[in-house]
Chains A and B, each alone.
Chain A
Amino acid sequence: MTPLEILGAAISGAPAPRIPVFCNLFEHGARELGMPQKTYYASGEHVAAGQLRMRARYGYDNVWSLFYVGREAELLGCQEILYSEDGPPNVADFVIKDYDDIAKLEVPDDLTAHPAWKETATCLRILREEVGATHPICAYLTASTTLPALLMGMDKWMELLLTGPADLRDELLRKCSLFYQREVAAYRAAGANVLLYSTPFGSTSFVGMKRFNAFSLPWMKRDLEPGGSANLVYYCGMAPFNNVIAQVREELGIGAHYISPMADLAEAKSIIGSEGLTCGVIDDIRLIQWTPQETRAEVRRLCEIGMVGGHFLFGTGVMPLGVPEANLRAMLAAAFEFGRYP
């Protein structure tokens, strides 16, 4: 079976030889191609080459069309990205510097005509041509309730959300939701088939249950309304969300859940069961310090919990550049070994 078929089997519950093994190596691609990140990320050809080389070297199942998270802010007017050779790029220029900028924020009618999309489209085209028939192609999309953090900074967004004028907050959210709707349509049309819906405000670690129901859920429904929830994976930026999985499934129709390493995987699995896909995620920050033996033991633990009854995927979180090569290899070897079905 191809990795794409293995993923399909994990979702449907059909027999498969093993679980899907997903990994995200982003800045590693620049290092592999021997170029500064700024040069690497300037070209969709570079990013596609980096993704293909990383996948070929380590043998995991997926590739990513994501450059860096701030890319979405660039599509909305961000002019400056802070690059680092040690970690992911950051938004250095907030599009919304004061509340007056909310009215000026424009969501492009056709995202695919935007210069910042051009390189993403090139990357997706190459990935689709090279591995699209056999391997999942992932995209990263930020929910309307979280996108403002990329546009104005998290503390300013929290301030607007919790104490600011409701009309301005809602105007910003409407624009962010419209952006999401257009972005997800563009990614689907370009061939991305695993869509990570990044929604930290969809976790009660960010807002309490009352605000989750009154604020997060309605805006997430609005995000998903036109395009639907097909191929979406619910992800809260590594924050736990076991207590809302049932609601997310019932009210948003999202069946795949990227479980926080800080959450109880067994509990998540028992909630999701065979109704969806449980993604068991390793704490890859600790992966920096672990030994290969400790890494192997942790992967085994996750597989033993998650594989019962099928419908399980092994995945990674932020995959820092500081993870030693030996641990990266130990993690993937263990995922393929313990991820085999009898």
Chain B
Amino acid sequence: MLDRIVKAYNEAVFETDKEAAFDVVYAALADGMRAEDIVFKVVIPAIEEMMSNITKDPDANLAQHFMTAQIAAAVTEKMLEKFEHPPEIIGRVVIGTAQGDLHSLGKRIVMGCLKALMVEVTDLGVNVAAEKFVEEALACDAQIIAVSAMMVHTASGEMGARKVRQILHERGLEQRIKLVVGGAPYRFDNELYKTVGADGWAADGINAGRVIVNLIKEVKAT
């Protein structure tokens, strides 16, 4: 039964069909599947499959990334209401776009993905000052600051991730809080994330989930 549900859910996600994905989920619930199993055995594996497909599938695209994240977040939210016990949160992230940057699509994909992966996300919005990223990360006890930037000057300039890194360094927070970046400029220059002092980056919003989860584990292990 599980294989059939996973296959039907993955097909709905691949076709960016939110309604069909929910139909699969509610049919599974009606058949007696637990909400916990839907999240951990259907939704999260679907995200993981999308992560691996992005690099292999020439037709993988932004619309799929967006809908994978939105469907996963929406299904998870609904299923959480039905969990017998609250799930364990694996870590916390504060996310926003760099100062001067108003592009919120990438951030939204990452957030949807993280919510389904049981990461608590605080959305700081757009055009966020470096100081605010650090203050909010401390206030939330976050392991990760995620800075999204779609323009070259916001991705590489002094007021974005570079300044977050500088503040983390000056305040001795570099072991406690890791810095992750994402956005188009980092795809055109794969070394740019190092130049701005980030600990990690991802080429797309879905794989950002994996990078962030790995860095949370790294912080927690130290």
Interface residues of A (CB under 8 A from B): 82, 84, 86-88, 90-92, 153-155, 158-159, 161-163, 204-209, 211, 238, 243, 261-262, 283, 285-286, 288-289, 318, 320-322
Kindly state whether residue B63 has any CB partner on chain A within 8 Å. Answer: yes
- Identify whether the interface residues of B are mostly helix, strand, loop, or mixed: helix
CB proximity of B161 to chain A, nearest CB, Å: 14
A321 near B103: Cβ-Cβ < 8 Å: no
Cα of A87 to Cα of B103 in the assembled complex, Å: 14
Cα of A285 to Cα of B195 in the assembled complex, Å: 13
Kindly state whether residue B59 has any CB partner on chain A within 8 Å. Answer: yes
Known: A88-B151, A285-B192. A204 touches B61 (CB 8 A): yes
Which residues of chain B are within 8 angstroms of A207 by Cβ–Cβ distance? 61-63
A320 near B63: Cβ-Cβ < 8 Å: no
Kindly state whether residue B193 has any CB partner on chain A within 8 Å. Answer: no
Which residues of chain A are within 8 angstroms of B61 by Cβ–Cβ distance? 204-208
Which residues of chain A are within 8 angstroms of B189 by Cβ–Cβ distance? 283, 285-286, 288-289
B105 near A154: Cβ-Cβ < 8 Å: yes
Q: Which residue on chain A has the smallest CB distance to residue B187?
A: A262
CB proximity of B21 to chain A, nearest CB, Å: 11
CB proximity of B57 to chain A, nearest CB, Å: 9
Residues of chain B in range 4-60 having any CB-CB distance to chain A below 8 Å:
16, 18, 58-59
B152 near A288: Cβ-Cβ < 8 Å: yes
A-B contact count (CB 8 A): 94
CB proximity of B222 to chain A, nearest CB, Å: 31
The 3 A-B pairs of least Cβ separation, nearest first, read A87-B153, A320-B152, A285-B188
Contact with A along B130-153 (1 / 0, CB 8 A): 000000000000000000000111
Interface residues of B (CB under 8 A from A): 16, 18, 58-59, 61-64, 66-67, 70, 100-105, 108, 127, 151-154, 156-157, 184-185, 187-189, 191-192, 195
CB proximity of A214 to chain B, nearest CB, Å: 12
Q: Which residue on chain B has the smallest CB distance to residue A318?
A: B152
Known: A82-B100, A153-B105. 12 other contacts (CB 8 A): A84-B153, A86-B100, A87-B157, A90-B101, A155-B105, A158-B105, A162-B16, A163-B18, A261-B188, A262-B188, A289-B191, A320-B152
Which residues of chain A are within 8 angstroms of B156 by Cβ–Cβ distance? 288, 320, 322
Which residues of chain A are within 8 angstroms of B192 by Cβ–Cβ distance? 285, 289
- Identify whether the interface residues of A are mostly helix, strand, loop, or mixed: loop
Q: Which residue on chain B has the smallest CB distance to residue A205?
A: B61
A92 near B153: Cβ-Cβ < 8 Å: no
B108 near A155: Cβ-Cβ < 8 Å: yes
Known: A84-B153, A322-B153, A322-B156. A205 touches B62 (CB 8 A): yes
Q: Which residue on chain B has the smallest CB distance to residue A88?
A: B151
Which residues of chain B are within 8 angstroms of A206 by Cβ–Cβ distance? 61-63
Cα of A238 to Cα of B100 in the assembled complex, Å: 21
A285 near B100: Cβ-Cβ < 8 Å: no
CB proximity of B138 to chain A, nearest CB, Å: 28
Cα of A318 to Cα of B59 in the assembled complex, Å: 25
Cα of A262 to Cα of B70 in the assembled complex, Å: 27
Cα of A238 to Cα of B152 in the assembled complex, Å: 13
Query: 29 A-B Cβ contacts within 8 A?
Result: A86-B100, A88-B153, A90-B100, A91-B102, A92-B102, A153-B102, A153-B104, A154-B105, A155-B104, A155-B105, A155-B108, A158-B66, A162-B16, A162-B63, A204-B58, A204-B59, A205-B61, A207-B62, A208-B59, A208-B63, A209-B59, A211-B63, A262-B188, A285-B185, A285-B192, A286-B188, A288-B156, A289-B189, A320-B153
Q: Which residue on chain B has the smallest CB distance to residue A158?
A: B66
